[in-house]
């Protein structure tokens, strides 16, 4: 079920993703890329930034994305509020809230009893979670690291779920130039979903 914006006014979902030249994000449920230092530092810093110290950022993961990197995630994002979407599990160690849908996650954040005053919502995937966000009525901003190499992925970022996007400007991007690491080239981009 798609989330309706009129039910949740002023919600912006920030999707953060790295994909290859064919929009691949995973291969056989594994992260296929080397850990790119500049990309990783950017992903960490932008998803931690807050302007109001009384609030926290929320990070939303699908269950497989969480399971693949849960120890790293909790080491890096110590004070952020973690939500994992799962239709089959009700409780996960190290997770602040387990939601059965994107709508459930957003509804939870808006409850007065929620233990999190939210500043920014970051969606970290996987593919199905990105698809839910893009097909929702929420405003979406996509922070994409685009690698100019095909890694033979079999899981993809769901650009086909978008009605349209436009490239946007964001001064928080680390560089406009091509970055070279581990023998690969990649660039940073920001896109706004056009509803």
The CATH number assigned to the domain with range 5-46+56-185 reads: 3.40.430.10
Residue 116 contacts residue 81 (beta carbons within 8 Å): yes
Angle (CA) 52 83 133, round 5°: 90
pLDDT of residue 9: 58
Bridge partners, residue 184, by sequence: 181
Sign of CA dihedral 167, 171, 172, 173: positive
pLDDT of residue 4: 43
pLDDT of residue 114: 67
* 149-167 burial code (b ≥16 CB/10 A, e <16): eebebebbbbeeebeebee
Over pLDDT 70: what percentage of the chain?
93
Distance separating alpha carbons of residues 34 and 181, to the nearest angstrom: 9
Sketch the domain layout of the chain as residue ranges.
Answer: 5-46+56-185
Calculate the CA dihedral of residues 67, 23, 142, 114 and round it to 10 degrees: -20
The β-bridge relationship of strands 97-99 and 81-85 is parallel
Q: Give the chain's mean pLDDT.
A: 90
Per residue in 119-154, pLDDT (tens digit) is 999 999 999 999 999 999 899 999 999 999 999 999
Determine which helix (DSSP H) or strand (DSSP E) holds 134, and give its type and residue range. helix 127-135
- Token pair 């990070």: residue: 59
pLDDT at 8 over 90: no
Residue 47 contacts residue 76 (beta carbons within 8 Å): no
Angle (CA) 153 147 64, round 5°: 45
Distances (CA, A) of 159 to 43, 101, 184: 20, 20, 23
What DSSP letter does each residue of 57-89 carry, written as one string?
A: EEEEEEHHHHHHHHHHHHHH-SSSEEEEE-SS-
Q: How confident is the model at residue 195 (pLDDT cuts 50, 70, 90)?
A: low
Q: How confident is the model at residue 68 (pLDDT cuts 50, 70, 90)?
A: confident
Q: How confident is the model at residue 94 (pLDDT cuts 50, 70, 90)?
A: confident
pLDDT at 23 over 80: yes
pLDDT of residue 132: 94
């Amino acid at each position: 079920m798609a989330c309706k914006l009129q039910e949740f006014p002023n919600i912006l979902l920030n999707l953060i993703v790295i994909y290859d030249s064919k929009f691949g994000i995973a291969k056989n449920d594994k992260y296929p890329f080397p850990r790119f230092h500049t990309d990783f530092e950017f992903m960490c810093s932008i998803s931690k930034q807050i302007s109001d110290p009384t609030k926290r950022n929320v990070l939303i993961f699908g269950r497989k994305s969480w399971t693949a990197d849960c120890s790293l995630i909790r080491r890096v994002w110590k004070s952020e509020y973690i939500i994992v979407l799962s239709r089959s599990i009700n409780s996960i160690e190290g997770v602040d809230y387990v939601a059965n849908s994107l709508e459930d996650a957003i509804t939870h954040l808006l409850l007065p009893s929620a233990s999190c005053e939210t500043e920014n919502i970051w969606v970290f995937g996987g593919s199905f979670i990105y698809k839910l966000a893009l097909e929702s009525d929420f405003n979406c901003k996509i922070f994409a690291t685009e690698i100019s190499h095909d890694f033979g992925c079999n899981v993809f970022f769901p650009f086909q779920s978008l009605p349209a996007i436009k490239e946007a400007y964001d001064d928080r991007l680390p560089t406009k130039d091509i970055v070279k690491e581990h023998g690969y080239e990649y660039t940073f981009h920001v896109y706004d979903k056009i509803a």
